[in-house]
Structure 1
């Protein structure tokens, strides 16, 4: 779904796919045009409509542009079908400004048409519910009575106490008096008021707060000043820095790079597409003790061929693999990497791989029925395993 261009024919081939997961991915594909994406507004699957309302989620899709993901009429149709989708659209950077100004003047969101405001009796019931999640939701409600807030502040559930501790009216001392905990790897529900406020004073209070949850929440705020971003770049909490990088184009190259190197998430590679990330100069990481830092050197267009060649002999497979497809490698080294199972896949994409070798891969793949002999895998990138070559077929490698 990350192809750079979608023809109408390619899009039409998937828009009615029987698997709703495919259609959901299509709804958030990066380079689909707004008009193409709008073809999905009548989709029968709720998750597809949710994906449309949220918009593209990849960093490649650039949170930094003002291009709408859908035409205004398509957003309006989504709200006609499911008014609750407003809760998703309000946080989407893709909603056109004209529609945003109409729906949320002054950024004060109105309740969806089919969801009346929670009344006092319902709030009281939620605050006493047996379900921890329901009590956590009530704990974040601004209209909750003070005595119920005080009771939930000592709730037996850590999640409920955490929700109370992030209420906007509390001072730092009051927050510290609550027994809450936020660990480095804990995923928390952000404080909505901190993610949306345009008030610089309130933003500053959150940026300086000792409460990690508030700093994580305000890092998601799209209206931060340059000074606020600079302060959060030096935050001790990794998640604060990660959220900041994911949502702000003004974060420095150094912060994006260091956050990438500190990350252990499967989506860390998206940070390399941040608009502040600089490829030139990465060659200086060649001597880093961190193999993931050394693996970035190949992205430097000014890195010398001799340096790429040297890193292709690195003791760590991830570093060797990063260089295997690079055209700055010598043809002989490409062949060596192709013969190594740990780097064969990347080396197969190298333009210096000899044409006869490429043909051998394709010939063996065509010869092998379904990639197996007697039901067992027997070939990978042109290599037959042991004596499992069939009696007739290609020459192999």
Structure 2
């Protein structure tokens, strides 16, 4: 496994103990026209002088990077909504592409700022906003009668929150793509709309999967053998046609049948289907009921691995179902628990950590609220596998001598973990700062003296 190397300056830019004067010095850095390291712009809780410096930064990339920061408050990013560069405004409109903790939702921009961005003269800015994952549902709903068809199309994402007259207007929209998408939203309850969509090649697969089918259309598509996996998932498919598709020669069709919500466990188990170890478990009816205790119970206690994988993605599992899935032998069930549930048992976290390794496990070890800390040094400091020796650094009782020893470990990930630990003795920390594979980790170390942080900046050409 290859470790990620970066510079000492990148590490210092992320150092939580970086003094404000040095942070301001770093943020003012031109970086050859690209601005300071992105770590400086993605810090949590940037002080106001630093935010003001970013907003006025001459390097376009610096303003773009801050506009995309998942650590910045939306009110801070919103201050770039009037930036002279369309790239910056589009980055504000689109919002963060990632967050350090996927369990934490990004707060949306204020509705008034979204309205301003939606009227931006640049199409790229307007497009970024209507395609953003971080727009408040209330703002999306307000777009149902907007003059821009792209905005009206975005309103369809909150179809169930729109009024009946807004439904009717969107179903009769002058824009064909808006009409088609609105019809796809309404077709689960409307056989006439479904029949019309089935004549539209662009809408056919989705209409077959979701629409209210009459028997004649269902039989016709089954006979023609067109989009049978979508047909097999349709909630309105008559039971006898479900039975016919349950023995279809195509394994994908049989798998789609096996996931139907109305099937008993005995009926589900009687279907011959194959599930790979890597199929994630996207099941519409479970995702729609991600907080519904009855849905979660049915999925979590099923013999079908995809249903259990889907249930394991819910952060709303009650304690009994969490314990049940924690004992599952399916690797992806346990992985999903580790990613999505804040109360996943320690033994599951540890098994997933050991199996996956690399950056994912490093994220889980530092970011999961239940990941263990106490006693790790005694258990793992001498473990033959480096993925475990890294964990010894997390133990609050680990001694400076042990941290120094681990900073020389044969495993580079373990060395990097030790180099970032404030218990590392200063002489070794300064040595690590000069080693390419440890420089970034040493730069993040909160025990690094401010004069050494300044020296890193000097060496990197950051003006005083």
Which category of TM-score, normalised to the shorter sequence, fits these structures? 0.5 to 0.7
The answer for the alignment partner of 2:126 in structure 1 is 44
Structure 1 residue 130: Cα displacement: 6.3
**Equivalent position SS for 2:87:** coil
The answer for the alignment partner of 1:212 in structure 2 is 305
Structure 1 residue 243: Cα displacement: 1.9
- Give per-residue Cα distances to partners, 1:214-271, cap 9 Å, x unaligned: 1112223454321111100111112112222333323223322332332258544443
Structure 1 residue 200: Cα displacement: 5.4
2:341 aligned with 1:274? no
**Equivalent position SS for 1:154:** coil
Q: Which region of structure 1 is more displaced relative to structure 2, 295-304 or 158-167? A: 295-304
Confirm or deny: 8 A CA contact 1:324 1:343 kept in the other structure.
yes
- Give per-residue Cα distances to partners, 1:69-91, cap 9 Å, x unaligned: x4x6335336663343137xx9x
Please give the alpha-carbon distance, in whole angstroms, between the structure 1 residues aligned to 2:222 and 2:358: 35
Residues 280 and 336 of structure 1: CA distance in aligned 2, closer, same or farther (over 3 Å): same
Structure 1 residue 156: Cα displacement: 4.1
Q: Which of 363, 382, 403 is matched with 1:308 structurally?
A: 403
Please give the alpha-carbon distance, in whole angstroms, between the structure 1 residues aligned to 2:91 and 2:220: 37
Please give the alpha-carbon distance, in whole angstroms, between the structure 2 residues aligned to 1:180 and 1:264: 31
Residues 185 and 79 of structure 1: CA distance in aligned 2, closer, same or farther (over 3 Å): farther
- Give per-residue Cα distances to partners, 1:171-230, cap 9 Å, x unaligned: 334323323111222234325247617775664443332210111122234543211111
Any residues of structure 2 matched to 1:73-152 within 5 Å, and which? 73-77=138-142, 81=152, 82-86=154-158, 114=183, 115-117=185-187, 118-121=211-214, 123=218, 134-152=227-245
TM normalised by structure 1 equals 0.68
Residues 243 and 40 of structure 1: CA distance in aligned 2, closer, same or farther (over 3 Å): farther
**Equivalent position SS for 2:80:** helix
The answer for the alignment partner of 1:4 in structure 2 is 44
CA RMSD across the alignment: 3.8
Residues 83 and 254 of structure 1: CA distance in aligned 2, closer, same or farther (over 3 Å): same
In structure 1, list runs of 5 or more residues that go unmatched: 54-69, 91-98, 101-111, 368-397
In structure 2, list runs of 5 or more residues that go unmatched: 1-40, 46-71, 119-124, 146-151, 163-180, 188-210
**Equivalent position SS for 1:293:** helix
Please give the alpha-carbon distance, in whole angstroms, between the structure 1 residues aligned to 2:314 and 2:446: 44
Please give the alpha-carbon distance, in whole angstroms, between the structure 2 residues aligned to 1:343 and 1:358: 15
Residues 277 and 309 of structure 1: CA distance in aligned 2, closer, same or farther (over 3 Å): same
Please give the alpha-carbon distance, in whole angstroms, between the structure 1 residues aligned to 2:218 and 2:383: 55
2:315 aligned with 1:248? no
Confirm or deny: 8 A CA contact 2:305 2:330 kept in the other structure.
yes
- Give per-residue Cα distances to partners, 1:152-185, cap 9 Å, x unaligned: 3233443322111111232334323323111222
Confirm or deny: 8 A CA contact 2:111 2:139 kept in the other structure.
no
Please give the alpha-carbon distance, in whole angstroms, between the structure 2 residues aligned to 1:206 and 1:14: 44
Please give the alpha-carbon distance, in whole angstroms, between the structure 2 residues aligned to 1:13 and 1:295: 40
Please give the alpha-carbon distance, in whole angstroms, between the structure 2 residues aligned to 1:240 and 1:357: 46
- Give per-residue Cα distances to partners, 1:262-311, cap 9 Å, x unaligned: 22585444434233234344333323333222213323333221221121
Q: Which region of structure 1 is more displaced relative to structure 2, 31-40 or 342-351? A: 31-40
Please give the alpha-carbon distance, in whole angstroms, between the structure 1 residues aligned to 2:129 and 2:449: 46
TM normalised by structure 2 equals 0.59
Please give the alpha-carbon distance, in whole angstroms, between the structure 2 residues aligned to 1:27 and 1:332: 39
Kindly tell me the number of residue pairs found equivalent between the two proteins.
328
The answer for the alignment partner of 1:234 in structure 2 is 327
Confirm or deny: 8 A CA contact 1:123 1:138 kept in the other structure.
yes
Larger RCO (CA within 8 A; separation ≥ 6):
2
